[in-house]
Amino acid sequence: MARAKAKSGGGGKKSPPELIARFDAAIARHPALERRQMFGYPCAFLNGQMTTGLFQDGMMLRLSEADRTRAARELGATPFEPMKGRPMREYVALPKEVVADSATLDAWLDRAVDWVRTLPAKSNKPKKPAPAKRTAR
């Protein structure tokens, strides 16, 4: 008998504890960032807009178009694709060497925060009411 796979956020592969600790230390410098889980991974939001986060064993940032181009050229950053062929607009995946270098990571996180500050704040949308149950007659 086939066994159903357990569902877990973000495709199943968890972020390593060392990466989570590094992420937490990096976002701690920005008190305006709110840490939340997104698809089972730690992420940081500013004014309701996702700014940075972890996905599996990597970290991504939300950047302006100019900074995405610069990050690709200078760092080797690539478009962030949580699902193959489905990149998330405005987000780049950082190479592991960048995440490991505190000064470089901090500088690029500053750029992400600066960019997201220019975006309109997102408000929490009220949850849709559950559809009414139909009763059999």
The span from the CA of 120 to the CA of 51, in Å, is: 13
pLDDT in tens, the chain (137 residues): 343 333 334 456 899 999 999 999 999 999 999 999 988 999 999 999 999 999 999 999 999 999 999 999 999 999 999 888 888 999 999 999 999 999 999 999 999 999 999 999 987 665 566 666 666 65
Residue 47 one-letter amino acid:
N
Which pLDDT does position 1 carry in this prediction? 39
Which pLDDT does position 129 carry in this prediction? 63
Burial 104-137 (b: 16+ CB within 10 A, else e): bbeebbebbbebbeeeeeeeeeeeeeeeeeeeee
Which pLDDT does position 128 carry in this prediction? 64
Domains of the chain are: 13-117 (3.90.1150.30)
